[in-house]
Amino acid sequence: MVEVGVALSPAARFPDTPPMTDSALVLFSGGQDSTTCLAWALQRYPLVETIGFQYGQRHHVEMQCRGTIRAALAASHPNLGADHVIDIAGGIAALGATALTSEAEITAGADGLPTTFVPGRNLLFLTYAAALAWRRSLRRIIGGMCETDYSGYPDCRDDTVKAMQLALNLGMQRRFILETPLMWLDKAATWAMADSMGLTPLIIEETHTCYRGDRTHRHDWGYGCGVCPACELRAAGYKSWRAQMR
């Protein structure tokens, strides 16, 4: 006989099985923000794995920086686990060009967003990350999204990440926790946070932020063209942080 209207307990409706470990998967691009997030996670969780994406980014040099940064952090953090690189370049390219995935000019678009905006990029990243975390029984998914001092990308907003957490938990029947330690920090505060973990030399020398992939021009804040939106944010944040220290 089919019972009608019998409510299932929350645990029965939404089981967290198999139990997930309190370990983390960090979206790690090799940039300043994700490096700071990776170090932050390594201080907190027993096992931290990383995921990165080949999506046809013009600054693919960041993918080379990842290995150097991971090696540096691994020396003092035995809890740094496996790295996973997912190639979604074909899919992204099939959807159309952007200034981040071609040599098109980096400028402000008609909708106010920079032409570097890749629609859905962080939504895809989070979905891939959750699918991997599901398989590896990792509970926490950590990303460097920030809506305080950013380029206006709507998929970096706190509400977007919270909505993704809900959608991923429903769609994969898990209790993932999406963490964004930089969400409410401006760039100066992100520099200060990295410095509090002793990361400043690593951030300056080894992380890559510049959209143009420029690693020939060395500034006091690191390498980059100095004029693209990513360089501007990084440079302004550094200047503001140094000013606050005086």
Q: Is 52 in contact with 38 (CB distance < 8 Å)?
A: no
Gap between the Cα atoms of 182 and 240, Å rounded: 17
Of 88-96, 151-159, 219-227, 236-244, the segment contacting Zn ion by CB under 5 A is 219-227
Name the one residue in this structure whose structure tokens are 């006091």: 220
Q: Is 210 in the site for Zn ion (CB under 5 A)?
A: yes
Q: Is 235 in the site for Zn ion (CB under 5 A)?
A: no
Exposed / middle / buried, residue 57 (Cβ in 10 Å: 0-12, 13-18, 19+): buried
The encoded tokens of residue 208 equal 């890559």
- Which is nearer to Zn ion, 149 or 158 (by Cβ)? 149
Q: Is 126 in the site for Zn ion (CB under 5 A)?
A: no
The encoded tokens of residue 122 equal 């962080």
Of 89-97, 134-142, 185-193, 217-225, the segment contacting Zn ion by CB under 5 A is 217-225
Q: Is 99 in the site for Zn ion (CB under 5 A)?
A: no
Axis-axis angle for helices 121-136, 158-172 (nearest 10): 40
- Which is nearer to Zn ion, 174 or 187 (by Cβ)? 187
Q: Is 100 in the site for Zn ion (CB under 5 A)?
A: no
3-state percent helix, strand, coil for the chain, nearest multiple of 5 = 40, 15, 45
Three-point CA angle 196, 33, 36, nearest 5°: 35
Of 51-59, 102-110, 182-190, 227-235, the segment contacting Zn ion by CB under 5 A is 227-235
- SS3 category, 139: strand
Q: Is 231 in the site for Zn ion (CB under 5 A)?
A: yes
In the complex, what is the shortest distance from the CB of residue 59 to Zn ion, in angstroms, rounded to a whole number?
8
Gap between the Cα atoms of 130 and 141, Å rounded: 7
- Which is nearer to Zn ion, 69 or 228 (by Cβ)? 228
Q: Which of 129, 130, 188, 228 is close enough to bind Zn ion by CB under 5 A?
A: 228
Q: Which of 208, 224, 233, 241 is close enough to bind Zn ion by CB under 5 A?
A: 224
Say how many C-beta atoms besides its own lie within 10 A of residue 156's C-beta: 22
Q: Interface mask (CB under 5 A) for Zn ion, residues 102-121, using x and -?
A: --------------------
In the complex, what is the shortest distance from the CB of residue 212 to Zn ion, in angstroms, rounded to a whole number?
5
Q: Is 31 in the site for Zn ion (CB under 5 A)?
A: no
Q: What residue ranges bind Zn ion (CB under 5 A)?
A: 210, 212, 224-225, 228, 231
